[in-house]
């Protein structure tokens, strides 16, 4: 059983899409192991996005991720990382396959509804940052 980390981003929370997004993951036979509605600080965003700090686009990303509540999740299932990324679709909603979460709920490259770990190693690191006791 593989674990992955997901964020339902502030845009999707504000637009009332949390339930529909969670339903997609559960319909795909993924198990929610941990979930929390929270707001994060700029310092916490810096820790999560450490590899992006200092890039020209990062200040806008930091501001977006701290603008309101988000939902952090740990999901598990067979091949969870790849399956969640496929369900989410391409980062740019204009390029996301029809039927994916981003094709349906995202509005722009930045306001793209969800984040998901890109590898099992990243998932382990993100889970330990967001849910240290999980």
Could you list the active site residues?
115
Rounded CA separation 21/104 (Å): 10
Rounded CA separation 84/42 (Å): 26
Q: What are phi and psi for residue 26, nearest 5 degrees? A: -65, -40
31-38 and 114-116 beta bridge pairing: unpaired
């Amino acid at each position: 059983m593989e674990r992955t980390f997901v964020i339902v981003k502030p845009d999707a929370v504000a637009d009332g899409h949390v339930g529909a997004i969670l339903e997609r993951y559960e319909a795909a036979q993924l198990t929610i192991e941990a979930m929390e509605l929270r707001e994060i600080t700029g310092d916490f965003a810096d820790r999560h996005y450490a590899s992006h700090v200092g890039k020209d686009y990062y200040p806008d990303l930091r501001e977006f991720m701290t603008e309101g509540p988000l939902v952090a999740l740990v999901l598990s299932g067979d091949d969870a990382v790849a399956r969640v990324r496929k369900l989410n679709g391409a980062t740019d909603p204009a390029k996301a396959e029809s039927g994916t979460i981003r094709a349906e709920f995202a509005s722009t490259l930045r306001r793209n509804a969800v984040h998901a770990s890109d590898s099992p190693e990243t998932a382990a690191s993100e889970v330990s940052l967001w849910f240290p006791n999980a």
